[in-house]
Amino acid sequence: MIYPDPLRAQMFKDVYKSGHLNRYTCEFDFIPNILPEFYAKGEIDDYIMTHPIEWKVILLKKGVNSDFGMDEISVEKIENNSEIRFIFTFPRPKTTPECFYALLIFDKNKDWKYFTLELDMGSSTVFKEGGGIICGQKGVDHINYGRRCKEDLNEFQKKVQDIIDKKPHNLFEDYQNIDLKKVEELGFNAEFYKKMGIKDYDKIKDQCQIF
């Protein structure tokens, strides 16, 4: 699902006007929009793409500072005959929707796609294996692919490739690792479902279809 958001566009503008780039705007605007446009036009090279400290130079030329640990981001480039991939590993996220990882993929025409593994509310509360949800960004549009993923780079890359290859997705697999005890502690218990008019609560629990 794609979520166009004019408020997000305005927020991006406001951040740059303020003269300070924060982590959110870096992960959801600078890396997926500004950085690849420079790269596609040949205005920056692989060295700058893979050395985040060099991004500060780009920003400073526009009068913008970064007010978080941009130099703690690591970037790896992988290239084959059909595409170029840049793999971003961010400092471990503390709040939603900060990212664990991101993939920036250029095709042979230098068009690009951007995928993220984001920390979401469910990952930090009710999922036993933690991790996050796979999303993306294109311009100001946020894309939610609806696939959960552990905090594991190899699994993230595999699931992104499944999305690219349009492989079918089994939602049940995503929700097998729900911590039912945690869910109930949050108030989603038998009494809650009775109030909602749902009688067969035990069957719902067995199928892990809590939400």
Q: pLDDT tens, 121-139?
A: 665 544 556 578 999 999 9
Chain segment 80-126, per-residue pLDDT in tens = 989 999 999 999 988 889 999 999 999 999 999 999 999 876 655 44
Q: What is the pLDDT of residue 204?
A: 44
- For the chain, where are the alpha helices, taking DSSP H only? 6-18, 23-25, 35-40, 46-49, 52-61, 153-164, 171-174, 180-185, 190-195, 201-207
Mean pLDDT of the chain: 81
| Dist CA 134 CA 156 (whole Å) | 8
Polymer length in residues for the chain: 211
| pTM of the predicted protein model | 0.79
Phi, psi at 85, each rounded to 5°? -120, 135
DSSP secondary structure, 87-108, as one string: EEEPSPP-STT-EEEEEEEEET
